[in-house]
Amino acid sequence: LETRADLEAGLATGQFHLVHQPVVETGTGRVVALEALLRWQHPERGLVGPDEFLPVAEATGLIVPLGRWALQQALRELASWDGAAPRLHVNVSAVQMRLPGVVDEVRDALAAAGVAPGRLVVELTESLLLEDDRVVRDALAGLKGMGVHLAIDDFGTGYSSLGYLRSFPVDILKIDKSFVRGLDEPGQEALVDAIVRIARTLDLELVAEGVEREDQRTALDRLGCTHAQGWLFSSPVPAAAVPALLARPD
Ligand code: G
Ligand code: G
Ligand code: MN
Ligand code: NA
């Protein structure tokens, strides 16, 4: 099992990298955004995914330098794809969002990479918004104020209270992949239908996650969910493969 020392050594010696998964318009396959996802190439264990190392990183505080590196690296990669590249989503953990100075950190990273704030989407967990924490509220307002977009990741898995959607400046809901998987079962479409209605009512963009099959795409289209991510469209790819992906014919 990895420790803080392993993670620290990994960060210091360049064992982390990002892969990027497109967000597509389901009708046309057009890439409208990418999501940066952390990977750890461990010298002995091979490729380690975030589900394994993020809990340790968050518990030990190493998420702070690791998250800072991921944000800066993601923006450098976005800049390297040239101005034609779409928006980039970066996951930011609750621990990072509670740090004083997180807004300045994002502003500095954007400036250093020469990326306009409107091209960055910060993905947050639903649970973060339910804390009703003054620090978090101010940070979200600060990001929003500079033109950064905000998305709620894994939407629908957190809680049943939806009041926070009105009180936070959220732009995008990402429907958790469990709902997409649920489309296989009778009656489960109603849940996605309800989320589509919530997004419409509140004028939010919507992205379905974990779309693996054509029948899921068809069902989402029918329900009015026009944007999606998943293996059906593309797995996450290294930064160097993104330009070819953006040039892919529809
Ligand atoms: O890529 P994969 O599906 O294994 O990612 C699993 C989870 O890890 C995702 O839900 C995502 O939110 C999280 N994750 C991936 N990259 C990052 C990152 O750079 N920072 C944070 N905080 N979370 C990440
Ligand atoms: O940030 P988030 O937790 O939503 O991260 C998305 C995760 O889902 C990433 O780890 C990514 O590798 C994974 N993923 C991407 N596409 C698919 C898919 O079609 N099916 C499944 N099961 N997982 C996916
Ligand atoms: Mn995400
Ligand atoms: Na998610």
Predicted confidence at residue 82, as pLDDT, reads 81
Query: What ipTM does this complex have?
Result: 0.95
Predicted confidence at residue 183, as pLDDT, reads 92
Q: Which atom of ligand 1 is nearest to the CA of 92?
A: 22
pLDDT tens digits along 39-94: 999 999 999 999 999 999 999 999 999 999 999 999 999 999 986 778 999 999 99
Predicted confidence at residue 160, as pLDDT, reads 54
Residue 249 has pLDDT above 70, yes or no: no
Q: Determine the residue of 7, 21, 38, 77 to mutate for testing ligand 1's pocket, defined as the one with the most ligand atoms within 8 A of the Cβ atom.
A: 38
Looking at every residue in the chain, the average pLDDT score rounds to 93
The whole model's pTM is what? 0.96
The 3-state secondary structure of the chain reads CCCHHHHHHHHHCCCEEEEEEEEEECCCCCEEEEEEEEEEEECCCEEECHHHHHHHHHHHCCHHHHHHHHHHHHHHHHHHCCCCCCEEEEECCHHHHCCCCHHHHHHHHHHHHCCCHHHEEEEEEHHHHCCCCHHHHHHHHHHHHHCCEEEEEEECCCCCCCCHHHHCCCCEEEECHHHHHHCCCCCCHHHHHHHHHHHHHCCCEEEECCCCCHHHHHHHHHHCCCEECCCCCCCCEEHHHHHHHHHCCC
Tell me which residue range forms the domain holding 126. 4-247
pLDDT tens digits along 219-234: 999 999 999 999 999 9
Please report which confidence band the pLDDT of residue 132 belongs to, taking 50, 70 and 90 as the band edges: confident
CATH number at residue 226: 3.20.20.450
Is any ligand 1 atom within 6 A of the Cβ of residue 38? yes
Is any ligand 1 atom within 6 A of the Cβ of residue 74? no
Please give the tally of structural domains in the chain: 1
